[in-house]
Amino acid sequence: MTTALDTRPLDLLADFPAIPAGWAYLDTAATAQKPKPVIDAITRGYGETYATVHRGVYQRSVDMTFAFEAARERVAKFLGGAAREIIFVRGATEGINLVAQCWAGTHLKAGDRILLSTLEHHSNIVPWQMVAERVGAAIDVVPLTADQRIDLDAMAAMLTPAHKLVALAHVSNVLGSVLDARRAADLAHGVGAKILLDGCQAVPRIAVDMAALDCDFYVFSGHKLYGPTGIGVLWGRYELLDAMPPYQGGGSMIDRVTFARTTYAPPPGRFEAGTPHIVGVVGLHAAIDYVDSIGLDRIHAHEMALVRQTREALSKLNSVTLFGPEDSAGIVSFAVEGVHPHDVATILDEGNVAIRAGHHCAQPLMDALGVPATARASFGVYNGADDIAALVAGIERVTRIFG
């Protein structure tokens, strides 16, 4: 028997102590606010249960090691992978750089090609440029469709056997457009290429499963998933990770060290040199539990409803240009005619509405859109109709001020 999806609006603002009454926080795509269970887990981690992991034989260290590895198991379950495929990193940026250096840097050669898209975050552009320059590879860029999605038909036409890696955003951090990730993976694998997906904007909004997506690498940052900063995840197919050299040297990533020769631990330990962000990992576990307690299907439905309401309201303002598809996931980017996005954001802030303004670490996309920057409202589980009303009222004030 199938249970019907609960489509009632979420009412979770009380779980977020950093959001005071009357403040419309619409910058979740940059970083999510933290719910009490996550804050409590971090507080306990530092105040009651703290100890190092993987080294101590005393009971508290053993207990904290158990909690640390239990978090790895929890992440694996959340992604539909195996614990030995989960590498803890500082964030998605480090995860992408790890793959760029340890896989691409050792597998690519002069004449090979890397395929990206127009809408990628700088963190999914610059690491590939760095490795391409070093090994003599080239980069190709997939354009967007008319409704500003990654054009997979164009991608299919562009791919050749020379392409060894494809790296794409699962959800755009500017446009909110959702990639047909399985089709992208099938296209990449069709020419023998590996595919990495940037899941930063996807994992807080939609359920993901590594087997279903059939990608080779997947990255996300904990702080966008209602968890702590400074912790993120790289998932990779184990056979790929096992063949990759380490990213950094130091403690924890070794098997045996002598001055003559050092041997390395198997993944994931091989890629986790030094003392890890122990409490960050514990906080990430709590964040995943929190999100799962609500249900990603329900979160996605809630945010989609907020996007529809926002786009409908803003489309009635003649001076506002909307970017991205109608069904964008939790993100609405826009411009107000004749007003720089920074001025829009400043005036909105005077009315207790917090949005992002700028190029959003996506300057090539801004060039493609023909604008220097956009204003961006992005939603989380704590947002509701009052926040949209405050946003619209603020933009109406912007248009009055600038005439």
- Residues 150, 171: contact at Cβ < 8 Å? no
Distance CA(91)–CA(193), nearest Å, equals: 24
- Residues 245, 263: contact at Cβ < 8 Å? no
Would you please indicate which residues are annotated as catalytic (active-site) residues? 361
Q: Cα dist. 82→147, 182, 272 in Å?
A: 36, 19, 17
Distance, C-alpha 10 to centroid of its chain: 22
Tokens 């996309």 map to which residue? 365
**Helix, strand, or coil (residue 50):** coil
- Residues 150, 141: contact at Cβ < 8 Å? no
- Residues 149, 167: contact at Cβ < 8 Å? no
Q: What is the DSSP string of 318-334?
A: TTEEEES-TT-SSEEEE
- Residues 49, 200: contact at Cβ < 8 Å? no
CA atoms within 13 A on the CB side of 361: 13
Distance, C-alpha 211 to centroid of its chain: 19
- Residues 303, 201: contact at Cβ < 8 Å? no
Residue 265 parent element (H or E): none
Q: Cα dist. 129→90, 141, 194, 223, 371 in Å?
A: 21, 12, 17, 26, 24
Tokens 């392409």 map to which residue? 163
The single-letter DSSP state of residue 112 is -
Distance CA(261)–CA(364), nearest Å, equals: 45
Q: Provide the residue type at 232 as one letter.
A: G
- Residues 174, 302: contact at Cβ < 8 Å? no
